[in-house]
Amino acid sequence: MELLRVELGVIWRLDERGRLPGPEDVVIGVAADGMTAAVSGRVPGPLAARLLDLVSQGVPSPPGHPPDVLARCRELLGDDHAVSGGPSYLVRRRVRYEVPAEVLRSDDPAHAERVRPLRPSTWTPGEWDALVGGGEGAPWAMIVEDGQVAAVCHSARLTPEGAEAGTWTSPAFRGRGYAAATTAAWARLLPDIPIFYSTGADNRSSQRVAGRLGLRPVGWLWKLTP
């Protein structure tokens, strides 16, 4: 539960009151040993306190099953709120996964220059320049094949408390273990902080990456979004 509490803070960058910036109104972290939660800053104080109290008294659910308290929170917020969730994992910093391809890393200036002109369409020019230049999203690891970026793992979130992996693989190169290889290389670039990898319940390919790397399951993150 403590790890999920850290990850929740890393992903959503909670404000000084511990509130979510949105778009979610509630996020509940469910682990085997308990539950933790955060509520959006736009939820009125009395309702936010009630929601957090409900979660603190709730019973954790098995992996993949929303806790009973989630339905009660949705009733209080309104039935128009969508429910989503997915598993969260802890990445070992020294994890390794070998593939027959060179993995480029942001700590090598020559690697950065190689990928600079190869921006995938999923990044805007400004986002790509920042990433490759060591700004937002760095550190990163990539695989380049056939003159294009085949896979990327970057820092979707990075704070002094922890890091969250962000992965992308070009459809033409999926199923080759590239996401696992770049995630392992990315993790070795980070300082000694908790490293998290989370995904959606329906994202089977991302869950296979976690399996390939032998990542440690931490719990599930459940969200209520208006």
The per-residue pLDDT for range 198-218, each reduced to its tens digit, is 999 999 999 999 999 999 999
Q: Phi first, then psi: what are they for 111, rounded to 5°?
A: -65, -40
Contact indicator for 34, 1 with CB cutoff of 8 Å: yes
Q: Classify 162 as helix, strand or coil.
A: strand
pLDDT at 93 over 90: no
In what order do the strands lie in the sheet containing 148-159?
Answer: 34-39, 26-31, 216-225, 82-90, 195-198, 162-169, 148-159, 140-145, 103-105
Contacts of 176 (CB under 8 A, 6+ apart): 99, 101
Give the model confidence (pLDDT) of 133-150 as tens digits. 999 999 999 999 999 999
**Does residue 208 sit in helix, strand or coil?**
helix
Q: Is the pLDDT of residue 57 over 90?
A: yes
What is the pLDDT, as a whole number, of residue 32? 95
Cβ atoms of 127 and 137 closer than 8 Å: yes
Give pLDDT, residue 43: 97
CA proximity to 220, closest of 86, 61, 91, 90? 86
Question: What is the DSSP secondary structure assignment for residue 215, as one 8-state letter?
Answer: P
Q: Is the pLDDT of residue 30 over 90?
A: yes
- Predicted confidence (pLDDT) at residue 175 exceeds the cutoff of 90: yes
Q: What is the pLDDT of residue 109?
A: 97
Answer whether residue 36 shows pLDDT above 90.
yes
pTM value? 0.95
pLDDT tops 90 at residue 95: yes
When pLDDT is cut at 50, 70 and 90, the band that residue 164 belongs to is very high
Cβ atoms of 115 and 104 closer than 8 Å: yes
Q: Rounded to a whole number, what is the largest CA-CA distance in the chain?
A: 57
Whether the ω angle into residue 139 lies within 30 degrees of 0, i.e. cis, is: yes
Percentage of residues in the chain having pLDDT higher than 70 = 100
Per the rule left: phi > 0, alpha: psi between -120 and 50, beta: everything else, 45 is alpha
